[in-house]
Amino acid sequence: MCAAPTDDRDARHVSLASFGEDATSRLRAAHVLIIGVGGTGCAAAAALAAAGAGTLTLVDFDRVDASNLARQPLYTPADIGRDKVAVAATRLATQHPGISIKPRAERLAGEALQAAVHAADVALDCSDNFASRFALNKACVDTGTALVSGSALRWEGQVAVFGPDYANAPCYRCMYSDHDEALDDCQGAGVLGPIPATIGTLMATEAIKRVTGTGTPARLSLYDGSTGEWRQLGVSKNGDCPVCAAR
Amino acid sequence: MKTINVRYFALFRERAGRDSETVETTADDALALFRQLTDRHGTDDPRGHCKVAINDVMADWDSPVADGDDVLLFPPVAGG
């Protein structure tokens, strides 16, 4: 059961200018879909659970591996071999017993992915490959659902917010194309532990802003942890985008 | 001849060995400019493994470059 938004847990949100009781209530009623509970997903889920997002659906078919532990703090050595979403759901329920957490240990695609996206107020892309990212983006465009995209590798990360007005604004596919390929993955190129957490926490902020109607969505933000540099870029709608151009 | 400010982000900073440089070029678009920088990147086709922004807006490789433009090269990132 959700406690009243004025309980002590929410005190700093209630007292926050431009947030207050109304946004706190909207956050309590929000449903956030998180695809991937790895480095970015762990941080996003932990921040959203702590903040009191009412329902979190966690999707990941992967199991905890020892190589995850340096950047995925929801997991401990005792969890190695267990489904990530099951472990994460247990930890997050301890963190905030008042929210609903729905773990799904599967790879969502097609109609199942579209249905999961449609049921959510916002989707967070915490996956680790372009194929999954393109599939989630298409489901978001098809259902008119906002997408918060985050990624991390080596010393760097990226965050961007798309939709839900895809008729007049770009989608993820406008930014990346089928030609794009990751230079490497976390296994091949490595990643510094806190970089995905930095990105995942920013994704949680963008998700909260989206579901509560507060703030302004971030532009495409690039982070280089090796120098501490941030760059923010505009993304234009691609008139030839195969996903959103006809919207 | 145009003067372009080229900025290298993250992985491309490491590869170029510098944060930025000012380039005198006759390149008409971003792809031609990149190819003139080939020696610094060790590759002759950036499409697929490098993204480009012009004056802080993401651009295509066939986007024109003009005198005084600020061109940013940064890597695609899909890891989670």
Amino acid at site A139: A
- B11: chain A residues, CB-CB within 8 Å: 154, 156, 183
Q: Is pLDDT above 70 for A166?
A: yes
Strand order in the sheet with B20-25: B20-25, B2-8, B70-74, B51-54, B57-59
C-beta separation of B47 from A117 below 8 A:
no
Q: What is the mean pLDDT of residues B45-65?
A: 90
In this predicted structure, what is the pLDDT of residue A120? 98
Outline where A34-157 has alpha helix (H). Answer: 39-51, 84-95, 110-118, 130-143
**Would you state the structure tokens that stand for residue A217, as one six-digit string?**
């969505």
- B15: chain A residues, CB-CB within 8 Å: none
Burial class (CB in 10 A: 0-12, 13-18, 19+), B23: middle
Q: Is pLDDT above 90 for A211?
A: yes
What are B70's strand-pairing partners? B5
CA B73 – CA B13 distance, rounded (Å): 9
- How far is residue A115 CA from its own chain's centroid? 17
* Buried b / exposed e along B28-51 (16+ C-beta atoms within 10 A): ebbbebbebbeebbeeeebeebbb
Q: Is pLDDT above 70 for A232?
A: yes
Compute chain A's Rg from CA coordinates. Answer: 17
Residue of A222, A140, A153, A233 lying closest to A191 (CA atoms): A153
Residue of A152, A51, A201 lying closest to B78 (CA atoms): A152
Q: Is pLDDT above 60 for A188?
A: yes
User: Band of the pLDDT at A1, cuts 50, 70, 90?
Assistant: very low
Residue of B12, B7, B46 lying closest to A181 (CA atoms): B46
User: Band of the pLDDT at B43, cuts 50, 70, 90?
Assistant: low
Best mutation target, A231, A232, A238, to test chain B (most B CBs within 10 A): A231
Q: Respond yes or no: is residue A186 known to be catalytic.
A: yes
Q: What is the mean pLDDT of chain A?
A: 94
Amino acid at site A27: L
Homologous superfamily (CATH) of B2-74 is: Beta-grasp domain (3.10.20.30)
CB-based contact, A49 to chain B, within 8 Å = no
Report the range of poorest mean pLDDT among A2-16, A99-113, A128-142: A2-16
CB-based contact, A150 to chain B, within 8 Å = yes
Q: Is pLDDT above 80 for A200?
A: yes
**Would you state the structure tokens that stand for residue A56, as one six-digit string?**
């979190």
Q: What is the mean pLDDT of residues A7-19?
A: 93
Q: What dihedral do alpha carbons B13, B15, B20, B22 form, nearest 10°?
A: -160
Q: Within 13 Å and on the Cβ side, how many CA atoms surround B72?
A: 18
CA A192 – CA A215 distance, rounded (Å): 30
In this predicted structure, what is the pLDDT of residue B37? 85
Q: Is pLDDT above 80 for A26?
A: yes
User: Band of the pLDDT at A185, cuts 50, 70, 90?
Assistant: low
At the second CATH level, the architecture of A14-233 is 3-Layer(aba) Sandwich (3.40)
Domain ranges of chain A: 14-233
Q: Is pLDDT above 60 for A171?
A: yes
**Which residue's entry shows tokens 């941080």?**
A43
Taking the model in full, what pTM does it have?
Answer: 0.94
Best mutation target, A176, A187, A222, to test chain B (most B CBs within 10 A): A222
Q: What is the mean pLDDT of residues A23-46?
A: 98
pLDDT digits (tens, 9 = 90+) for A216-230: 999 999 999 999 999
User: Band of the pLDDT at B44, cuts 50, 70, 90?
Assistant: low
Q: Is pLDDT above 60 for A183?
A: no
In this predicted structure, what is the pLDDT of residue B40? 62
CB-based contact, A55 to chain B, within 8 Å = no
CA B25 – CA B33 distance, rounded (Å): 7
Domain ranges of chain B: 2-74
Q: What is the mean pLDDT of residues B62-70?
A: 97
User: Band of the pLDDT at B45, cuts 50, 70, 90?
Assistant: low
